[in-house]
Every structure is written in C-alpha cells, then in structure tokens.
C-alpha cells in the first residue's frame, strides 16, 4: 500500500480515522478528502460486528443441584445411598478373593 500524503493524514485525523486508513482517501482538496472520509466512515459502519452471544447458563439443573439440599458431602452420600440401596444378599455370594486369584491365575511379574 502507498504512503498517505500529509493532506490525507490530516483529513483522517480530523474525521477520527485510523492513520492506516488515510491512504485510502481520495480527493485533491481538503473538502473532497473530508467528504471521502465521511463516505468511508458510513461504509465501514454498516459492517459492525454482531452483538455478542448471551452467556450460557449450563442448562437445566436437577432439584438436588440448585442448592435446595444442605450442600454437604455427607448429605450427598446419604442421597446416593437412598437412591442406590446395597444388595445385602448379593454381597454375601461374592468370593472373598479377587476373581483372578479365585481362578488360580498368577501374574507373570511375580506376586
């Protein structure tokens, strides 16, 4: 891009344009440069950036997440236990040793 003339730079400063846009201005007199600067400002005003998107809320939340509970770890653990009861009968049937030892499997790394 060519360097702006002092007249172009002065017109750009009078109209509040960035100095980098001064070389774009066309005209031989100060009035013509000012008119071109006004036209340029009107042209770039139509290309305004879109408004920012509203902040995301994270979506709907459950009743126990909105702070309606006591909010402690103990309250969360109690809620989990109430929703997921233990199966006492099935726990008695589990082998005392892990399955790989119950089946006689040995790790090759020792142990």
- What is the tens place of the pLDDT at every residue in 6-65? 899 999 999 988 888 898 899 999 999 999 999 998 888 777 777 888 887 776 666 555
Domain total in the chain? 1
Backbone angles phi, psi at 8, to 5 degrees: -65, -40
Q: Which of 16, 15, 22, 31 is nearest to 1 (CA)?
A: 22
Residue 14 covered by a domain: yes
pTM for the predicted model, two decimal places:
0.42
Residue 109 covered by a domain: no
For the record, the structure tokens of 76 come out as 């969360």
Residue 50 covered by a domain: no
Residue 27 covered by a domain: yes
Residue 100 covered by a domain: no
CA atoms of 104 and 101, how far apart (whole Å): 5
- What is the tens place of the pLDDT at every residue in 88-102? 666 666 656 666 666
CA atoms of 23 and 5, how far apart (whole Å): 7
Residue 106 covered by a domain: no
Supply the range of the domain harboring residue 31: 6-45
Can you tell me which residue has the tokens 């001064």? Answer: 22
Residue 35 covered by a domain: yes
Residue 17 covered by a domain: yes
Task: Count other C-beta atoms under 10 Å from residue 11's C-beta.
Answer: 25
């Amino acid at each position: 891009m060519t360097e702006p003339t002092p007249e172009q730079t002065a017109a750009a400063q009078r109209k509040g344009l960035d100095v980098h846009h001064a070389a774009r201005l066309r005209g031989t007199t100060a009035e013509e440069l000012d008119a071109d600067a006004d036209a340029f400002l009107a042209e770039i005003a139509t290309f305004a950036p879109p408004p920012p998107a509203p902040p995301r809320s994270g979506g709907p939340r459950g009743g126990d997440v909105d702070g309606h509970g006591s909010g402690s770890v103990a309250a969360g653990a109690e809620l989990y236990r109430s929703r997921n009861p233990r199966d006492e009968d099935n726990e008695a049937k589990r082998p005392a040793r892990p399955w790989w030892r119950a089946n006689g499997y040995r790790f090759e790394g020792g142990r």
